[in-house]
Amino acid sequence: MPGEVCECKSINVAVGSAKDSNAAINLAANCSKHSDVNKTMGLPLTIQFKLGCKYMITNNLRTEDGHVNGAVGFLKKIILESDDRLRERPKVKRVYLEFDEKVNDIEGSIGRLTREEDSSVKYRRKDQIDKDNQHWTMFKWEQQTIEHAKGKQYHIDRLQFPMVECESMTIHKSQGQTYLSVCVNIGGSLKRSLLYVALSRATNLNGLFLFGAKSIVSDNIRKMTQKQKQDEIEKRERTDDVRKEMKRLREESVLKNSYESLDLIETNRIHKPTRQSDDKFFCLFQNIQHFNPKRDILRKDFSHLSMDVILLAEGHNMIQYKYQAEHLFDQFELVHFSSPISRQTSTGQLCFVNKRLKDNFKFVADNCDMQANHTYLDDKELVELSLFQLKSSSPT
Question: Domain locations in the chain?
Answer: 6-165, 171-252, 273-390
For residues 144 and 168, the answer to whether their CB atoms sit within 8 Å is no
Cα dihedral sign, 103-107-110-113: negative
CATH class of 273-390: alpha beta
The top-scoring range by mean pLDDT among 61-70, 96-105, 368-377 is 61-70
Instruction: Please name the residue ranges forming H helices in the chain.
Output: 22-31, 112-116, 118-126, 171-174, 192-199, 226-239, 241-252, 295-300, 322-326, 370-373
pLDDT at position 270: 41
Helix (H, G, I), strand (E, B) or coil at 99: strand
Q: Which of 238-242, 342-346, 381-385 has the lowest mean pLDDT?
A: 342-346
For residues 341 and 369, the answer to whether their CB atoms sit within 8 Å is yes
Q: Using CB atoms within 10 A of its CB, is residue 338 exposed (0-12), middle (13-18) or buried (19+)?
A: buried
The top-scoring range by mean pLDDT among 111-115, 179-183, 235-239 is 111-115
- With vertex at residue 179, the alpha carbon angle to CA 175 and CA 180, rounded to the nearest 5 degrees, is 160
User: 267-293, pLDDT tens digit by residue?
Assistant: 333 444 455 456 678 888 889 888 888
User: 201-248, pLDDT tens digit by residue?
Assistant: 887 888 888 877 666 666 677 788 888 888 887 887 777 777 788 778
Q: What is the spatial distance between Cα 348 and Cα 332, in angstroms, rounded to a whole number?
A: 19
